[in-house]
């Protein structure tokens, strides 16, 4: 296996699919000459030319609509949004057109379009550029929502999303682009709607995805030193959700913590909790815990951003609560002297 960064894996997936199928093209702000805001499309303009790697104006509603129209005619567009925060400008096109045209046309039109780009907080980008919007798109029938956590999943899931005949919301972790990992060579795809157990365990199940999966795995490592065995399940696809893999894990561990980057009210974690509670009620030995962003817009200051975002200590505390163990007291920081 090659060792690639998350961004390189995404680039490889798009290049391989565009080489395989001439109907696929990439369109978005700065995807061509600038080679992508996060360099995901690096080298693609030189490889495929301006007819298949298309720079657009700063007009999300416009080029998202063009992509939807292209999909209706039989092309397979990949529409890059510089950040999912900007998708709100095009939400009418995504929600009222992309998600509904296949049904409203009685199946006469397919909608093979992938909307992809970074989501979540990236570090001091402020309230308008740090939102986790997967809950909103998962609430819309007709859309599939995919959130890879590793380079291998990023490649395999993107390849499968491009081949899908329904619109796919593909949200990349904004802090994951530089993360490296082993990626299988060749045409290896990851099916949509299939979760993955990223770490085996026996004492508690953590369900998490995207950037928060990395944090959950860090917490599991710390807990292992205290002889607490945590199983970490990555849904990978938010919708359709692979509930059965999650249920199997909870039935084994009898405890569950859901960790997500978004706010807690009416979020994806709430749906997972409801499903686990309904399907695993007799298996649970403790109430399910949730760890999520605090219910305020994202502050700009780095210390405040860190304060409201889920971290390792908060996850560890949640795991210990479901195990009825005393929580560790945080180390006190020395007070600075004021002369």
User: Which positions are catalytic?
Assistant: 60, 129
Q: How far apart are CA 190 and CA 65, in angstroms?
A: 28
Residue-wise DSSP of 12-55:
HHHHHHHHH-TTEEEEETTSSTT--TTSTTTTHHHHH-TTTEEE
Residue-wise DSSP of 113-163:
-EEEEEES--SS--GGG----HHHHHTSTT-EEE---SHHHHHHHHHHHHH
Element (H, E) at 307: helix 302-308
Q: How far apart are CA 252 and CA 231, in angstroms?
A: 9
Phi, psi of 70 (to 5 degrees): -65, -40
Helix, coil or strand: residue 297:
coil
Of 332, 310, 315, 287, the C-alpha closest to 228 is 315
Q: How far is CA 222 from its chain centroid?
A: 24
173: alpha, beta or left, given left = phi > 0 and alpha = psi -120 to 50? beta
140: alpha, beta or left, given left = phi > 0 and alpha = psi -120 to 50? beta
Helix, coil or strand: residue 97:
helix
Element (H, E) at 196: strand 196-199
Entry field: residues in the chain:
339
| DSSP 8-class letter at 333 | P
């Amino acid at each position: 296996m090659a060792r690639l960064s998350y961004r390189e894996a995404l680039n490889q997936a798009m290049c391989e699919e565009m080489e395989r199928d001439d109907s696929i093209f990439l369109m978005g702000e700065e995807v061509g000459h600038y080679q992508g805001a996060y360099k995901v499309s690096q080298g693609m303009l030189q490889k495929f030319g301006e007819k298949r790697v298309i720079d657009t104006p700063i007009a999300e509603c416009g080029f998202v609509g063009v992509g939807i129209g292209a999909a209706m005619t039989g092309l397979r567009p990949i529409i890059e949004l510089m950040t999912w925060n900007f998708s709100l400008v095009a939400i009418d096109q995504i929600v009222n057109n992309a998600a509904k045209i296949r049904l409203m046309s009685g199946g006469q039109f397919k909608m093979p379009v992938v909307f992809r780009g970074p989501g979540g907080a990236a570090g001091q980008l402020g309230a308008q550029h740090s939102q986790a919007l997967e809950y909103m798109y998962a609430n819309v029938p007709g859309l599939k929502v995919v959130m890879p956590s590793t380079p291998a999943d990023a490649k395999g899931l993107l390849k499968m999303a491009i081949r899908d005949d329904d619109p796919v919301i593909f949200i990349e972790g904004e802090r994951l682009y530089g993360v490296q990992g082993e990626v299988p060579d060749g045409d290896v795809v990851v099916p949509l709607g299939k979760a993955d157990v990223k770490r085996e365990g026996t004492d508690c199940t953590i369900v998490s995805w995207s950037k928060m999966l990395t944090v959950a795995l860090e917490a599991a490592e710390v807990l292992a030193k205290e002889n607490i065995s945590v199983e970490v399940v990555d849904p990978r696809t938010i919708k359709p959700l692979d509930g059965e893999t999650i249920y199997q894990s909870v039935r084994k561990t009898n405890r569950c913590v859901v960790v997500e980057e978004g706010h807690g009210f009416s979020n994806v974690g709430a749906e997972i909790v409801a499903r686990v509670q309904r399907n695993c009620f007799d298996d649970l030995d403790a109430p399910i815990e949730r760890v999520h962003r605090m219910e305020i817009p994202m502050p700009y200051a780095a210390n405040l951003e860190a304060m409201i975002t889920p971290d390792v200590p908060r996850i560890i505390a949640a795991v210990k609560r479901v195990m009825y163990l005393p929580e560790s007291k945080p180390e006190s920081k020395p007070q600075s002297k004021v002369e």
